[in-house]
């Protein structure tokens, strides 16, 4: 089997490529925007340019030629400091239009399966979710991911392309950035954190667990035209997460208790309500469908995932 991976040089993409090479069942081809030395030996690279430009007819034809599966990771991700005057239009240009064009071309090229890595933000921002829950995205990124899912299902119905949709929650691991990396730095520096009394529950997924699940969805017959939520299978409070991170570093967590309601009020006044909600609120996913249909269990524990993330810090 030959699998084309978009976003192969990204955070999740690099973990996936490593797993695919180790698994040995698939020849790996990467669609990249420019020449790169970031991928290991054994990966065939095709320079396609920016996916959203949709101009590289010859290069995309080459990238898709002979491919049995496409794993579509490339996306405009959640932007912490948004600069676009119309964020939703920009998300739609990249995450919707380009994704659907790629799937259409994949179907025309004879690709059998298209694995789309979406986001739990399609479900919403708080609560406990299963795949049967009605989508309720709250931001432009989540809306764009939901619209792409709808379009991909339509293409599957029209062409016979097998579409698998994966909705991960927060992904962490070697090379993680943004808020999770900032939290690791704070713990590593011994900065006292007012997170000692947060009794929430949040699902996370280690990048190596997500990569293993993606690979399962590439190969497993029962994944055909399914939507899956995925996680490490253990949900943590923010307080427990900080303690486990500190343990992975061989340090003592420096936590002091502040009521969650006070933290939320202070964050709202500081214009950081959404960041605080992610720290204080709960978001859990049920992975029983993945366990039941694909006989999948996360191959590494939360503690091992945190250890790998910390080791690469």
Catalytic positions, please?
A: 141
d(CA 311, CA 313): 6
What per-residue string of b and e applies to 182-211 under the rule 16 or more CB within 10 Å gives b? Answer: ebbebbeeeeebebbbbebebbbbbbbbbb
d(CA 168, CA 240): 21
Provide φ and ψ at 143, rounded to 5°. -60, -45
- The CA-atom distances, in angstroms, between 110 and each of 18, 113, 153, 159 are 26, 9, 17, 10
Provide φ and ψ at 16, rounded to 5°. -65, -45
Which residue spans within the chain are E strands per DSSP? 2-6, 27-32, 43-47, 69-72, 113-117, 127-129, 162-167, 170-172, 204-206, 227-229, 283-285
Q: For the chain, how many helices (H) and strands (E)?
A: 12, 11
Asked if residue 137 lies in contact with residue 118, where contact means CB atoms within 8 angstroms, the answer is no
């Amino acid at each position: 089997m030959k699998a084309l991976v978009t976003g192969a040089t990204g955070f999740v993409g690099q973990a996936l490529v490593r797993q695919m090479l180790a698994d040995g069942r698939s020849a790996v081809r990467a669609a990249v925007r420019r020449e790169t030395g970031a991928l290991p030996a054994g990966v065939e690279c095709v320079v396609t340019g920016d996916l959203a430009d949709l101009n590289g007819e010859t290069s995309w034809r080459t990238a898709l030629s002979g491919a049995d599966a496409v794993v579509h990771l490339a996306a405009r991700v959640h932007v912490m400091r948004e600069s676009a005057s119309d964020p939703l239009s920009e998300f739609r240009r990249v995450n919707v239009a380009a994704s659907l064009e790629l799937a259409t071309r994949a179907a025309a090229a004879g690709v059998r399966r298209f694995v789309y890595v979406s986001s739990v933000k399609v479900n919403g921002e708080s609560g406990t979710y299963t795949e049967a829950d009605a989508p309720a995205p709250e931001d432009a990124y989540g809306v764009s991911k939901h619209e792409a899912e709808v379009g991909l299902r339509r293409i599957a119905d029209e062409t016979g392309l097998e579409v698998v949709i994966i909705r991960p929650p927060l992904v962490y691991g070697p090379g993680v950035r943004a808020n999770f990396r900032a939290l690791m730095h704070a713990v590593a520096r011994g900065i006292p954190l007012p997170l000692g009394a947060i009794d929430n529950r949040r699902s996370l997924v280690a990048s190596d667990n997500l990569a293993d699940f993606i690979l399962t969805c590439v190969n497993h017959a029962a994944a055909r035209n399914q939507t899956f939520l995925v996680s490490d299978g253990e949900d943590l409070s923010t307080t427990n997460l900080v303690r486990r991170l500190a343990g992975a570093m061989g340090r003592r967590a420096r936590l002091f208790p502040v009521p969650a309601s006070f933290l939320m009020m202070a964050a709202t006044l500081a214009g950081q309500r959404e960041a605080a909600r992610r720290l204080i609120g709960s978001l859990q996913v049920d992975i029983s469908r993945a366990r039941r249909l694909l006989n999948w269990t996360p191959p590494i524990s939360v503690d091992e995932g945190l250890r790998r993330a910390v080791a690469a810090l």
